[in-house]
Structure 1
Amino acid sequence: MIRKLATTTLVVALTALIGSPAVAQEIRRVVRYHDLDLTQIAGVRMLRHRVVRTVARVCEEAIPHVSLLDTHYRQCRRDLTRHAEPQIAQAIEAARAAPTCLAAR
């Protein structure tokens, strides 16, 4: 089996301004992808799925007791997903640029 090696985590971070800047909090979560082959479409899809799930959890934590249809919650998810996109792209690019090696059988 041929695999490309890459860094194995990306950080989903959100600075949530709740009420005012005086009570801003930063919530960080790590999304691991060491088990994914990001040179394959299925691996990229799974990484994106993990990021979407993590973003939802972070926004639920940042904005507790809110409807999933709430404007602030939806904006949180949009902003955080946008923030994660460069990290996802960098992980994919690193995987594709890494030298291939034969995995042990």
Structure 2
Amino acid sequence: MTNIETQLLEAGFTVKEIAYLNRNINRYGSSLLEVVFDLGKRFIMVLCITAAVALIFLALLFFAEQYNIVSGGISLFIVLMIVWFFQPPLITYKAWRYRKKYISSGQTH
């Protein structure tokens, strides 16, 4: 087990999740640190999209007709489900947490 894998386990990743990341690395090429860094960035991007959808829904509540609120709410919910489906939310959150703790403080080797 490498130093990065040990740090990932300490940061809350499971052995199964690390194996999943390593399978994708072997399939597509990259390094574990780059994958974790990219997943951390994706988590922030998905949070921004979620916040934007919430703001759009609030605007619907205040300014739209009743039938537009229902149809717009359903549409926005579908958008969120698609966005969160394509991002493994638990892994991206753990990657964001790892990135915040280790990479920003320069503790990776």
State the TM-score, normalizing by the size of structure 2. Answer: 0.35
Q: Which structure: larger Rg? A: 2
Q: Which one has a larger percent strand, Structure 1 or Structure 2?
A: 1
